[in-house]
Amino acid sequence: MSNQHLLIEQCKERIGPKNLANELADLLGVNMDAAYRRMRGVTALTFEEIQKICLHFNISFDSIINYSGKLVPFQFNAMFGSKFSMRSYLENIEQELKVLAKIPDAKIEMTCMDLPYFRQFGFKSLSRFKLFFWQRSVLNLESYRHKKFDANEPIDEFEEVTEGIYKNYLGVPSTEIWAPETLDSTIKQVQYFAESGLFAEANTGNQICDDIDALLNKLEREAERGHKTITTSEGTISSPFKMYQSDIYMSNNCIQAFLGEKIFTYVSFNSFNSLMSFSPNFSKECNLWVEQIRLKSILLSEVSEKLRYQFFQSLRTKLLDLRETFNA
């Protein structure tokens, strides 16, 4: 595929159902026939036209000229920039999952060094705590500086979008590799808030633990059945699910979304943010890494009843230890 075709394909991915020819005609100041000729590669794009297209569609020029080279272009949201919006960030995730849920052969594979936020958004107290923690302790927002966390207080601007993320995730077939340490960072965050007097009510820590316990119960049932399921007002959402236990320490959360032959790779950094690349070489390398971990892991879904029980009991033991610190 030529570099010009790669550029056009990336434009199509960003524009969605809109007519790309119309968009290019307006952007480049040409007629529809000229726009189509550029889309087909009959007419070569000029440097000025490429520049306009890259800026308009937020496409890295490196991703075109170095598509299979050693340099790997990434996309990310600048959390500490003045234009960053947590809601917009979450809406983008919801939209990406919504697209995946509608594609028959789409799937997700991920290593879960930390608790996946796809799952935690299905449990109100836990979801609200994570959102509060990110904004107070990671982003250091001034509006959160003197606030204490109240699990019963809805964070209105996020309730709908986080629910959408959770529902759409459950509609996408996925493979998850969990580890004995997957809960550790969340437990430490809850413990820090409790020890720092940042909970509005004495029972808040236990409310969050109740949600984590409910999450584990649902996850265990889904692993047993090999399916993720949720019943909504619109009907039942369900998709195939494979869960593995890895005893090898995983250094990051790696999420790969598969859409046919295309692979989008997300690597976590700075708590909840991620770097995204669709570079074939990089995605293939990450996929090989994930596959090596999977091959050395234990399949917990549908089989390995004893090992599945032992794994979840080990996580519940950590949760029980956390609860006991609240009552010490």
Residue 50 or 268, more confident: 50
What digits encode the pLDDT tens for the residues 64-102? 665 555 667 777 777 777 778 888 889 988 988 988 888
Q: Is 148 helix (H, G, I), strand (E, B) or coil?
A: coil
pLDDT (mean) for 48-74: 76
User: What pLDDT score does 283 carry?
Assistant: 86
CA–CA separation, 10 vs 124, rounded Å? 37
CA angle 209, 213, 215 (to 5 degrees): 115
The candidate with the shortest Cα–Cα distance to 312, out of 218, 205, 174, 185, is 218
What digits encode the pLDDT tens for the residues 15-26? 777 889 999 999
User: What pLDDT score does 89 carry?
Assistant: 86
What digits encode the pLDDT tens for the residues 110-146? 999 899 889 999 999 999 999 999 999 988 888 888 8
Q: What is the DSSP string of 72-126?
A: ---B---TTSTT--HHHHHHHHHHHHHHHHHSTT-EEEEEESS--HHHHTTSHHH
pLDDT (mean) for 222-234: 89
CA–CA separation, 41 vs 136, rounded Å? 50
Torsion over CA of 38, 44, 46 and 50, rounded to 10 degrees?
50
Model pTM?
0.80
CA–CA separation, 261 vs 307, rounded Å? 34
Domain ranges of the chain: 3-65, 86-326
Alpha helices in 117-203 (DSSP H): 117-120, 124-133, 156-170, 184-195
Which numeric CATH code is attached to 3-65? 1.10.260
User: What pLDDT score does 63 carry?
Assistant: 64
Q: For residue 320, is pLDDT > 90?
A: yes
Q: For residue 268, is pLDDT > 90?
A: no
Q: For residue 1, is pLDDT > 60?
A: no
